Each structure stands twice: as structure tokens, then as C-alpha cells.
Amino acid sequence: MRSVIDLDAYARRVGHLQPLLPDLATVQALVRAHVAAIAFENIDPLMGRPVDLDPLAIEDKLVHAGRGGYCFEHNLLLAEVLRALGLPVTGLIARVLWNRPVDHPSAQTHMALLVTIAGERWLVDVGFGGLTLTSVLRLQSGLEQLTPHEPCRLLESGGEWRLQAKVGSQWRALYRFTLQPCEPIDYVVANHYVSTHPDSPFTTDLMVARTDVDQRLALRNHEFTVRHRDGRQEHYLLRSAREIRGVLEHQFMLVLPGHVALDRRLAALPG
């Protein structure tokens, strides 16, 4: 098994043309390029296919095959890239709070990264779908931090951190986590639940997202939404599997299999 990511292939995939250096500027640029080039998507769980967290399998899928993935795949891939650059990276696991009460006892089903750059710690996350971070965040409680999209902040209490984004005029919680390093086996367990359990939305609904310079693109089953950085939104209803496939290929830049099973699954989506 190859132990180090193919950095040149990754850089080509995300369109990063500058030297790859172990510094803040490079990590910032990679985060922004990554979320613009590699879509968040759950096609494999939707099709009942296993999600392989082996680094080589993730590289083959996201870098070489033109596909996307969800949080474990995105952040495990970026973690390999950053470690290959010589940066200390700690994998974290979080409880999702988006569209839930702040005290909701949700399971630990989201992955994020803690990256140390020049002695300072930063939260890095390229896998939170429609509100994924487009900038690294300094690990400092209460500091409002600007990103190319929504302002964000981290709040800490009793050793637990909470990530919030300012959506419109309101601060909304995305997830909560501690700085306890997550063991690889815990990602395997969480990934199995997320990708196979009948109560997981990843097994029932199509969820795709990509974040460009001035807009966020999101697809939930038949509804395609473009959210501009100035607050404007466009909504489109996709009425057929052919229309959904077209948006996946052209707006989310995914290389999709032409197999009839995918078209049947897209045609059977709820809504």
C-alpha cells in the first residue's frame, strides 16, 4: 500500500499551481481549491455501495476517478496531503448540530482536522457539505473570523468546542467537538453507520455540494440551489434523472458511471 499521497496528482485535481509548502498560505489555498474542485457527495451510500476509508482507495476515487465523497473521505484525503507536507495533523470527530437544538444528543458522525502550522493550531474542514469551511480557522474561542463566505467563530466551554457560522444575521451551530484525537477505528465505525444505517439520510437522500469563489451550490434530491455570497438564492426543480445527472456532471463536475442502476436510483429519489 502506498503510504504517501500523490501530491502532484492532488495538486492537479484541485488546480493548485503554486509550490506546496508547509505554511499557512499553502493550507489556505488548498482548502479553497479543494472545496471548489471536489464535490461533497453521497452517491455510493445512496447506491448501497461501501465507502472505503483506505487512503489509497480515497485517492483513487477523489483524485483519479473524478468523484467526490463525504466528510471522512474529504478530510482523510486532505490529512494525507498535509502530513506529506510535514505538518502535524490530528483527526477529530464531531457531533453535528446543524438544524438541530444545541443540546441535541447526536452521534459522533463528522470528521474534522486540527492542524498545527508554525506552532499555532487551526481547525480545517473540507467536508461539511453545503456549509463547509472555505478557510482555516484559528483555534481561539470567541473570535469572529472572516472567510470567503460566511463569518465563523469557535466557542469553547469545559473543553468542548462549538463551531458556528453567521448565516444572514444569526449565528448558527454546525457541530461540537473536543480536541481528543480520534482513533482510525472510530472513523470506521462512524462511517459504517453513516453509509449503511436505514436512519442515515446518506442512504435515502441525494446530497451534493460544491463551493466556488462567490457561491455555494447544493443539491438535495430534486432541488438544486445556488446561494450567492451577497445573499441571493436561485432554486431549480429537477424533474427527471436525466436533469439530475446533468447537474451532477456539469455543475458539480463529477465523473459518473453510465450504468442504468444509477439512473433508476436517481429517478426514485423522494420529492
**Is 66 contained in some domain?**
no
- Total domains in the chain come to 1
Long-range contacts formed by 150-156: CB under 8 A, 24+ apart: 154/123
Cell 446518506, residue? 202
CA 126 centroid distance within chain:
4
**Is 226 contained in some domain?**
yes
Burial 81-95, CB ≥16 within 10 A → b, else e: bbebbebebebbbbb
- Domain extent, residue 213, equals 197-267
Per-residue pLDDT tens digits for 132-182: 999 999 999 999 999 999 999 999 999 999 999 999 899 999 999 999 999
One-letter amino acid at 74 equals: H
pLDDT value of residue 216: 98
Q: What is the CATH number of the domain that holds 218?
A: 3.30.2140.10
Spatial separation of the C-alpha atoms in residues 239 and 237, rounded to whole Å: 6
pLDDT value of residue 2: 46
**Is 227 contained in some domain?**
yes
Residues labelled catalytic: 71, 110, 125
Residues of the chain with pLDDT under 70: 1-3
**Is 255 contained in some domain?**
yes
Is the pTM value of this prediction over 0.85?
yes
Cell 506552532, residue? 119
Per-residue pLDDT tens digits for 15-29: 999 999 999 999 999
**Is 204 contained in some domain?**
yes
**Is 215 contained in some domain?**
yes
Q: Let me know if 43 is exposed, middle or buried by CB neighbors in 10 A (0-12, 13-18, 19+).
A: buried
pLDDT value of residue 227: 96
**Is 43 contained in some domain?**
no
**Is 10 contained in some domain?**
no
- Secondary structure of the chain in HEC code, one letter for each residue: CCCCCCHHHHHHHHCCCCCCCCCHHHHHHHHHHHHHHCCEECHHHHCCCCCCCCHHHHHHHHHHCCCCECHHHHHHHHHHHHHHCCCCEEEEEEEECCCCCCCCCCCEEEEEEEEEECCEEEEECCCCHHHCCCCCEECCECCCECCCCCCEEEEEECCEEEEEEEECCEEEEEEEECCCCCCHHHHHHHHHHHHHCCCCHHHCCCEEEEECCCEEEEEECCEEEEEECCCCEEEEECCCHHHHHHHHHHCCCCCCCCCHHHHHHHHCCCC
